[in-house]
Structure 1
Amino acid sequence: MEAAPPPAEQDPGAPHGYPGELVSVLIDQETVQAKVRELAAAVAADHTLDTPPLLVCVLKGAVMFTTDFARAMPIPSEMDFMAISSYGSATTSSGVVRILKDLNSDITDRRVVIVEDIIDSGLTLSWLLKNLQSRGPAAIDVVTLLRKPEAVKVPLEPRYVGFDIPTEFVVGYGLDYAERYRDLPFVGLLGAHMYA
Structure 2
Amino acid sequence: MSTNLEASAGQLGGRDIRRVVYSEERIATRVREMADEITHHFGPDDDLLVVGLLKGSFVFLADLVRRIQRPLHVDFLVAASYGTGTVSTGDLKLLYDPEASLRDRSVVIVEDIIDSGHTLQRLVPLLREREPRSLDVCTLLHKRLVTLDPAARWVGFDAPSEFLVGYGLDHAEDFRHLPYVASL
Determine if contact 1:49/1:111 at 8 Å carries over to the other structure. Answer: no
TM-score normalized with structure 1 length: 0.85
Question: CA separation in 1, counterparts of 2:152 and 2:7?
Answer: 31
Distance in 1 (alpha carbons) for counterparts of 2:24 and 2:5: 16
Matched, 1:184 2:184: no
- Answer yes or no: is 1:120 the counterpart of 2:105: no
Q: Say if 2:34 and 2:154, in contact at 8 Å, map to a contact too.
A: yes
User: 1:50: how far off?
Assistant: 2.4
Q: 2:133 — aligned with what? A: 138
> What's the % identity of the aligned pairs?
41
Secondary structure, counterpart of 1:44 in structure 2: helix
| 2:160 is the alignment partner of 1:166 | yes
State the one-letter code of the partner of 1:112. Answer: V
1:129 to 114, 121, 124: 124
Q: C-alpha displacement at 1:153, in angstroms?
A: 6.7
Q: Is the 8 A contact 1:143 1:159 kept in 2?
A: yes
**CA 1:153/1:13 → structure 2, altered by over 3 Å: closer, same or farther?**
farther
Question: 1:22 Cα shift?
Answer: 0.7
How big is the shift at 1:189? 0.7
Partner residue, 2:77: 82
**RMSD of Structure 2 on Structure 1 (CA):** 2.2
Write the distance in 2 (CA, Å) between the matches of 1:16 and 1:23: 10
Is the Cα–Cα contact under 8 Å of residues 13 and 21 in structure 1 kept in the other structure? no
In the superposition, relative to structure 1, how do residues 113 and 23 fare at CA in structure 2: closer, same or farther (>3 Å)? same
Could you tell me which amino acid in structure 1 is paired with residue 31 of structure 2? V
- Structure 1: runs of 5+ lacking an equivalent: 1-8, 191-196
Report the CA distance between 1:16 and its aligned residue: 8.9
Q: How many aligned residue pairs are there? A: 181
1:148–1:165 CA contact under 8 A, matched in 2 = yes
What is residue 92 of structure 2 aligned with on the other side?
A: 97
Task: State the TM-score, normalizing by the size of structure 2.
Answer: 0.91
Give the counterpart letter for 2:174 in structure 1.
R
How far is the alpha carbon of 1:76 from its aligned partner?
Answer: 1.9
Shift of 1:152: 2.5
- The separation in 1 between residues aligned to 2:135 and 2:5, in whole angstroms, is 42
Deviations 1:27-84 (A, max 9, x none): 0000001111111110110102524411101000000000000101111221001001
3-state SS of 1:69 partner = helix
Determine if contact 2:11/2:17 at 8 Å carries over to the other structure: no
Q: Partners in 1 of 2:141 and 2:171 — Cα distance?
A: 16
Q: Which runs of 5+ in 2 are unaligned?
A: none
Separation of aligned partners in 2, 1:44 and 1:178? 34
Q: Flag the structure with larger Rg.
A: 1
